[in-house]
Amino acid sequence: MVKVRLILTGRTNIYASDDVLEFLAEFEEEGEDGEIINLVIGKLQKWSMMGLRFCPELVNEGDHIYRLRVANTGRLIGFFAHEDFILVAFYEKKGQKPNRVQRGILEKAKKIRDKGQWEFTNE
C-alpha cells in the first residue's frame, strides 16, 4: 500500500508518496537570503493553482497514467483521482522514449491505481 500525503492545494490538489517527496527534496537550493527554495515545488504549485490538466508538461503515457516533466531529466509519474493528482513514482529520463526500466515504473503506477493500492495519510 502506497501512502500519499497532500503537498499542494489549488484547482488540482497534489498528493505525493514518500519516495516522490525524497526525489523532490533533491531540487532544494539555498536562496540569496539563506532561505531554502525548491524550484520544482514552485512549478508544481503554479500548475496546481491553474489546474494540472492544463499543464503543458503533463503527458499521457496511456491507460490514464501521466508523466510530468519537472526538470531537464526529472519525471514524476501519477494519475488523477477525480480532480486530485496522485504522484506515486519518478524516474530520471535517459532518452527520448521510456526504456524498459521506466516502462516498468509506469506499469507499477498503473497497478497501484487499478488495484487501489494507495491511501491518503496525514502522518
The answer to whether position 67 is within a domain reads: yes
The answer to whether position 80 is within a domain reads: yes
CA atoms 10, 12, 18, 23: torsion sign: negative
The answer to whether position 123 is within a domain reads: no
- 22-26, 76-80, 110-114: the lowest-pLDDT one: 22-26
Report how many domains make up the chain. 1
pLDDT per residue as tens digits for the range 27-51? 888 878 878 888 899 999 999 999 9
Q: Exposure pattern of 68-101 as b/e (b: 16+ CB <10 Å)?
A: bbbeeebbbbbbbeeebbbbbbbbebeeeebeee
C-alpha cell at 105: 515504473
CATH at 75? 3.30.2310
The answer to whether position 122 is within a domain reads: no
The answer to whether position 19 is within a domain reads: yes
CA distances (Å), origin 86, targets 67, 78, 93, 100: 11, 5, 20, 23
Strands (E), the chain: 2-8, 14-17, 28-30, 36-38, 58-60, 66-69, 74-81, 84-92, 118-120
pLDDT per residue as tens digits for the range 62-79? 999 999 998 888 899 999
Cβ atoms within 10 Å of 16's Cβ, excluding its own = 23
The answer to whether position 87 is within a domain reads: yes
The answer to whether position 84 is within a domain reads: yes
The answer to whether position 15 is within a domain reads: yes
Domain extent at residue 91: 2-117
Candidates 52, 57, 43, 70; CA nearest to 11 is: 52
The pTM of this model reads: 0.91
